[in-house]
């Protein structure tokens, strides 16, 4: 039985979305926040060090790159030194020899004049200070989503990430299998979060978004027959053909590379079972895959759309998901549902109506 409070934290590329909920509480009264993503916050801190002309030391753990990587490259381009502890340096590449080629110096003992910045997808101390300021007790249970490409120094992390999805489909595509107490060793971002928050339930942001979107009342009504869930995130677009608790097919691309026309073309052929992995990968997306026993005759015509970039799908025949009346917390609701299922307490989740 689930006792205490749950912190569900969905760490994206543009925002980190936070839900604090306890059993018996109306979801409308739960603590909810939409904050800048850790990559955005830490990039700003690095840029401040750059503007001050000071050397930089990066400590902490592997996390998402994006704006952080860009800020570090700009710091180096200014001729300013960057020191990094190896665990933090993996944020920028699975091959540390490559970041050394940029000019980054790997060390656990930086010069005393270097400004230290701690990397990580979860700032436990910062969250603690934020909640304490509003007299909110720090939660006792945790569920966190990050987008993990997996550790693969041998080649393309795009290909390796999609290989993870293909293997998931080959094992039966059960959505519950994407929630981990002990994530695979190659999912190093999840492993880093587990070090920061021992005992946390961990999911990929794309899986959490699908799980949450399926809590939408209209999606629930159609889930038995089959639905297509489209999650248009700030960085990635993810779609899945879902029926019951099973995902039959997965499509993933980079949102910034998609126009409405291209997205609609991909989605139409994805629904029809005609979109190929090779086409999506060649288009600089991650890929497209179907379960071995998937049949194009199956019906997934009902579409539920979520994500902060959902306007890109305006005009597509579907509904915008609003589980518990709050689209931006869709991933958090998915995390909460997965957590309660693992705790055999799924009956505690309030009705989304």
Question: For 274, what's the count of Cα atoms within 13 Å in the CB-facing half-sphere?
Answer: 6
pLDDT digits (tens, 9 = 90+) for 206-235: 999 999 999 999 999 998 889 999 999 998
pLDDT digits (tens, 9 = 90+) for 122-147: 999 999 999 999 999 999 999 999 99
Whether pLDDT at 298 is above 80: no
Question: Are residues 188 and 121 in contact, defined by beta-carbon separation less than 8 angstroms?
Answer: no
pLDDT digits (tens, 9 = 90+) for 154-199: 988 889 999 999 999 999 999 999 999 999 999 999 999 999 999 9
pLDDT digits (tens, 9 = 90+) for 77-127: 999 999 999 999 999 999 999 999 999 999 999 999 999 999 999 999 999
Residue 148 is given by DSSP the state -
pLDDT digits (tens, 9 = 90+) for 266-295: 999 999 999 999 999 999 999 999 998 888
How much of the chain exceeds pLDDT 90, in percent?
A: 88
What φ, ψ does residue 146 adopt, rounded to 5°? -135, 160
Whether pLDDT at 346 is above 80: no
Whether pLDDT at 320 is above 90: yes
Instruction: Find all residues with CB under 8 Å of 314, minimum gap 6, and list them.
Output: 260
User: Comparing C-alpha atoms, which of 209, 196, 242, 226 is closest to residue 338?
Assistant: 209
pLDDT digits (tens, 9 = 90+) for 56-66: 999 999 999 99
Task: Please tell me the total number of residues recorded for the chain in this structure.
Answer: 353
Residue 174 is given by DSSP the state B
How much of the chain exceeds pLDDT 70, in percent?
A: 98
Reduce the DSSP state of residue 259 to 3 states and report it: coil
- pLDDT value at position 42? 98
- Bridge partners of 35, per DSSP, are 16
Domains and CATH numbers, the chain: 38-119 (3.40.50)
- pLDDT value at position 353? 39
* Nearest-angstrom CA–CA distance, 241 and 212: 14
């Amino acid at each position: 039985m689930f006792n205490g409070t749950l912190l569900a934290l969905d760490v994206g590329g543009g925002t980190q979305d936070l839900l604090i909920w306890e059993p018996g509480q109306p979801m409308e009264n739960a603590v909810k926040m939409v904050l800048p993503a850790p990559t955005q916050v830490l990039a700003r801190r690095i840029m401040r060090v750059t503007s001050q002309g000071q050397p930089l030391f990066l400590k902490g753990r592997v996390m998402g790159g994006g704006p952080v990587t860009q800020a570090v490259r700009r710091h180096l381009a200014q001729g300013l030194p960057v020191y990094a502890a190896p665990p933090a340096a993996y944020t920028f590449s699975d091959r540390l020899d490559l970041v050394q080629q940029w000019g980054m110096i790997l060390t656990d003992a930086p010069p005393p004049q270097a400004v230290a910045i701690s990397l990580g997808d979860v700032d436990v101390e910062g969250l603690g200070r934020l909640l304490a300021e509003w007299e909110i007790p720090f939660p006792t249970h945790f569920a966190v989503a990050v987008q993990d490409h997996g550790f693969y120094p041998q080649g393309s992390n795009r290909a390796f990430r999609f290989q993870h999805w293909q293997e998931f489909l080959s094992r039966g595509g059960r959505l519950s299998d994407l929630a981990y107490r002990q994530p695979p060793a190659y999912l190093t971002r999840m492993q880093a979060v587990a070090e920061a928050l021992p005992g946390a339930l961990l999911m990929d942001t794309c899986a959490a978004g699908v799980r949450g979107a399926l809590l939408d009342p209209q999606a629930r009504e159609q889930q038995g027959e089959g639905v297509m869930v489209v999650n248009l995130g700030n960085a990635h677009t993810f779609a899945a053909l879902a029926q019951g608790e099973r995902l039959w097919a997965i499509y993933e691309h980079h949102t910034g590379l998609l126009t409405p026309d291209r997205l609609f073309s991909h989605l139409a052929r994805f629904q029809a079972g005609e979109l190929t992995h090779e086409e999506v990968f060649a288009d600089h997306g991650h890929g497209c895959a179907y379960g071995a026993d998937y049949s194009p005759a199956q019906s997934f015509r009902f579409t539920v759309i979520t994500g902060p970039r959902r306007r890109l799908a305006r005009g597509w025949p579907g509904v915008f998901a609003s589980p518990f009346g709050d689209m931006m917390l869709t991933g958090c609701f998915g995390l909460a549902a997965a957590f309660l299922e693992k705790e055999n307490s799924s009956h505690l989740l309030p009705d989304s109506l």
